[in-house]
C-alpha cells in the first residue's frame, strides 16, 4: 500500500511592519548666484524613496531629501529661494524569520526639520525622517500530497488566499503653458514655483488602470507694478490630468492601489503673444506606482483513508489575512489657529499635510485619528512670515465593515484647504481630506500536514454487496470511508444518490455498496 507523503506549500505573509527613524544632516554653502541670507522665512523638507530591498537579512533603504529654503536678503529685503538635494541610506536588521523571498516596501515622510545659520552663506539643516517599512515574504507549511494512488483516497478542498502581483511603475511627462487670469498682475520676478498632485480617482478595467487627478501649480512672484499693496503675489493654477497605466494583472473587481508622486519639476515665466509676462511654463513628471492584489488557489487534504490500513495524520491550522474590502471616503476637518505676534495681514500660501494616521473600528464605521500640520506663508507689518501649526483630529467615517474584521489600515491625504484670515490675526481653515481604507480579516485554514502512523485495519466480515441506510448528514466521502472503497466507484454504483459535490440527494433511502475486493 502506498504511504502518504508530505510536501511544502508557501503562503504570503507580512514579516515586518514598522516605522524606522532616520536623522539626516546637511551642511552646505549657498550657490554663487544666491545672495547672503539675512533672515530665514521657511525651510521645507521633501523626502523620496529610491530603493528598498532585503539583502542578507537586512533591509536597505536608499533615497534623497530635497531641502527648500525661502529667505530674505540684504538687497532691499527681497525674497530668494534655493534648494539642496542630499542622498541618504538606512540599514535595519530584519527580525529572524523562516519566510523566503522577502520583498520590502518603504514610504518616507519628514516629521521634523530644523535649520541654523553657521554663516550668512552656510545653513546647517537637520531633518528627522520616518521610514514606514513593510516586508512581505512566503512562509513554508507542510501539507500532505494529494496525488492519487490506487489504494489511498483523499477528501480534498481548495484554499484561496491573496498574493501581491508584480508592482507596475511608469513615469508621465507633462509640459503646459498656463496663462494668468485677467485680474492677476504680470510677473516681474518669480521667487519660486511648485507642482503637487491630488489623490487620484481610479477606474480599474481588464489590463489597465485609469487615474484622474489634478496638478496644482503654485508660484510666488513680484508683480511688474509694485505700487499697489503688497510686493508679492501668489498664483495658483489647477490642471486636470488623466493617466492610463497598462497593468496586465488588473481587472474589474480586483483590489488595486495607485500612488502618484511629482518628480522633476520646473516652473518658469514666459511672455504671451502681446509680449507681456503672463504665462507660466510648467514642465514636470508624475511617477505612478500601481499595486494589485491577486488570488491564488491550492488543493489540500481535508481527510484521507486507505483501503488496507488505518492512517493517522497531523492537522495544521494557519491564519491568513485577506483583503475583505477597500473604500475611499472624503471628510472635512475645521481648524482654528490662534493669533500670534506679529499677525498676518495677507496670506500667500497655505498647505497642509497629515501624519500618524490610525484607524479603529467603531459602531457603524471607522474612527480615524491623526495630526494635520498647516503651513502658512503670509505678509505682516514686519515682513513676510511663515508659521507651522499642528492640530490633532478625530474623525468618524461611516462605513459598512465586513464580518470577521481583524485589521483596518488607513491613509489620509489632504487635497484642499480653505483658509480664512480674521481681523484679530487668528486663522481658521477647512481641510478636505481623502481617506483610503483597507479592511482585512483573518481566515483560519485547516488541512492535513503529515502522516503520524499507519496500522492494520480491524478484521471485518466478508461481504459482496451491502445495503447502507444513510443519515441526513452522510456524504459520498463518509460512506466511502466507512466501507474503505473508492468514492468514484461508489458514486458510479449509485448514480441517483449523490450530487456533484458528494452531498446526499433528497429521497435517497438506500446506498448499494459493492465490495470490489471480492
Domain with residue 486: its CATH number is 3.10.350.10
- The 10s digit of each residue's pLDDT in 233-263 is 999 999 999 999 998 888 887 888 899 999 9
Do 433 and 472 touch, CB atoms closer than 8 A?
A: no
Q: Which residues contact 275 (CB under 8 A, 6 or more apart)?
A: none
- 312 within a domain of the structure (yes/no): no
Do 49 and 61 touch, CB atoms closer than 8 A?
A: yes
- The 10s digit of each residue's pLDDT in 69-121 is 999 998 666 899 999 999 999 999 999 888 888 999 999 999 889 999 999 99
* Whether residues 239 and 127 fall in one domain: no
- 314 within a domain of the structure (yes/no): no
- 158 within a domain of the structure (yes/no): no
* Whether residues 10 and 131 fall in one domain: yes
**What are the φ and ψ backbone dihedral angles of 415, each rounded to 5 degrees?**
-125, -5
- 299 within a domain of the structure (yes/no): no
* Whether residues 438 and 466 fall in one domain: no
* Whether residues 469 and 433 fall in one domain: no
* Whether residues 194 and 288 fall in one domain: yes
Do 479 and 470 touch, CB atoms closer than 8 A?
A: yes
**Nine cell digits for residue 185:** 498682475
* Whether residues 126 and 250 fall in one domain: no
* Whether residues 433 and 475 fall in one domain: no
- The 10s digit of each residue's pLDDT in 133-167 is 999 999 999 999 988 777 889 999 998 888 888 88
| Total tally of structural domains belonging to the chain | 4
* Cα 72 from Cα 79, distance rounded (Å): 5
* Whether residues 107 and 241 fall in one domain: no
- 157 within a domain of the structure (yes/no): no
User: What integer pLDDT is reported at residue 511 of this predicted model?
Assistant: 92
User: What integer pLDDT is reported at residue 326 of this predicted model?
Assistant: 86
Pairing of strands 279-306, 39-55: unpaired
Cα-Cα end-to-end distance for the chain: 18
User: What integer pLDDT is reported at residue 235 of this predicted model?
Assistant: 95
* Whether residues 1 and 101 fall in one domain: yes
* Whether residues 466 and 441 fall in one domain: no
- The 10s digit of each residue's pLDDT in 440-493 is 888 888 999 988 877 777 777 677 888 999 999 999 999 999 998 999 999 999
* Whether residues 9 and 129 fall in one domain: yes
Bond before 342 cis per omega within 30 degrees = yes
3-state secondary structure of 274: coil
Q: Domain limits at 93?
A: 1-141
pTM recorded for the entire structure: 0.84
* Whether residues 411 and 497 fall in one domain: no
Amino acid at each position: 500500500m502506498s504511504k502518504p507523503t508530505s510536501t511544502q506549500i508557501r503562503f504570503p505573509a507580512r514579516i515586518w511592519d514598522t516605522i524606522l527613524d532616520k536623522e539626516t544632516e546637511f551642511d552646505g554653502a549657498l550657490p554663487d548666484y544666491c545672495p547672503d541670507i539675512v533672515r530665514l522665512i521657511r525651510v521645507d523638507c521633501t523626502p523620496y524613496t529610491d530603493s528598498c530591498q532585503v539583502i542578507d537579512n537586512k533591509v536597505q533603504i536608499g533615497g534623497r531629501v530635497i531641502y527648500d529654503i525661502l529667505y530674505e536678503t540684504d538687497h532691499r529685503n527681497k525674497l530668494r529661494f534655493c534648494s539642496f538635494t542630499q542622498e541618504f541610506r538606512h540599514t535595519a536588521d530584519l527580525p529572524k524569520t523562516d519566510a523566503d523571498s522577502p520583498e520590502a516596501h518603504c514610504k518616507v515622510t519628514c516629521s521634523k526639520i530644523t535649520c541654523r545659520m553657521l554663516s550668512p552663506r552656510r545653513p546647517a539643516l537637520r531633518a528627522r525622517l520616518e521610514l514606514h517599512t513593510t516586508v512581505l515574504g512566503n512562509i513554508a507549511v507542510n501539507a500532505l500530497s494529494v496525488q492519487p494512488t490506487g489504494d489511498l483516497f483523499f477528501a480534498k478542498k481548495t484554499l484561496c488566499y491573496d498574493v501581491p502581483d508584480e508592482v507596475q511603475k511608469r513615469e508621465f511627462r507633462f509640459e503646459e503653458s498656463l496663462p494668468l487670469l485677467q485680474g492677476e498682475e504680470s510677473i516681474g520676478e518669480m521667487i519660486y514655483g511648485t507642482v503637487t498632485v491630488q489623490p487620484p480617482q481610479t477606474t480599474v478595467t481588464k489590463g489597465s488602470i485609469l487615474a484622474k487627478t489634478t496638478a496644482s501649480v503654485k508660484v510666488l512672484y513680484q508683480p511688474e507694478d509694485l505700487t499697489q499693496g503688497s510686493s508679492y503675489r501668489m498664483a495658483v493654477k489647477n490642471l486636470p490630468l488623466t493617466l492610463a497605466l497598462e497593468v496586465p494583472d488588473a481587472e474589474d473587481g480586483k483590489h488595486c492601489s495607485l500612488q502618484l508622486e511629482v518628480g522633476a519639476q520646473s516652473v518658469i515665466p514666459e511672455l504671451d503673444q502681446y509680449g507681456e509676462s503672463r504665462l507660466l511654463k510648467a514642465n514636470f513628471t508624475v511617477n505612478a506606482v500601481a499595486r494589485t492584489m491577486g488570488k491564488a488557489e491550492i488543493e489540500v487534504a481535508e481527510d484521507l483513508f486507505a483501503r488496507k490500513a488505518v492512517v493517522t495524520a497531523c492537522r495544521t491550522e494557519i491564519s491568513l489575512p485577506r483583503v475583505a474590502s477597500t473604500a475611499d471616503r472624503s471628510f472635512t476637518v475645521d481648524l482654528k489657529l490662534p493669533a500670534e505676534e506679529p499677525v498676518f495681514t495677507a496670506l500667500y500660501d497655505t498647505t497642509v499635510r497629515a501624519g500618524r494616521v490610525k484607524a479603529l473600528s467603531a459602531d457603524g464605521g471607522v474612527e480615524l485619528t491623526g495630526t494635520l500640520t498647516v503651513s502658512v506663508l503670509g505678509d505682516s507689518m514686519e515682513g513676510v512670515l511663515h508659521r507651522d501649526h499642528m492640530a490633532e483630529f478625530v474623525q468618524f467615517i461611516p462605513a459598512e465593515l465586513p464580518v470577521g474584521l481583524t485589521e483596518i489600515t488607513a491613509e489620509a491625504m489632504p487635497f484642499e484647504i480653505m483658509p480664512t484670515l480674521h481681523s484679530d490675526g487668528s486663522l481658521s481653515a477647512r481641510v478636505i481630506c481623502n481617506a483610503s481604507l483597507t479592511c482585512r480579516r483573518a481566515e483560519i485554514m485547516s488541512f492535513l500536514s503529515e502522516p503520524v502512523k499507519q496500522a492494520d485495519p480491524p478484521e471485518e466480515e466478508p461481504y459482496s454487496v451491502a445495503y447502507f441506510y444513510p443519515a441526513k448528514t452522510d456524504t459520498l466521502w463518509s460512506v466511502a470511508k466507512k466501507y474503505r472503497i473508492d468514492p468514484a466507484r461508489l458514486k458510479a454504483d449509485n448514480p441517483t444518490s449523490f450530487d456533484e459535490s458528494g452531498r446526499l440527494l433528497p429521497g435517497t433511502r438506500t446506498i448499494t455498496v459493492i465490495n470490489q475486493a471480492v
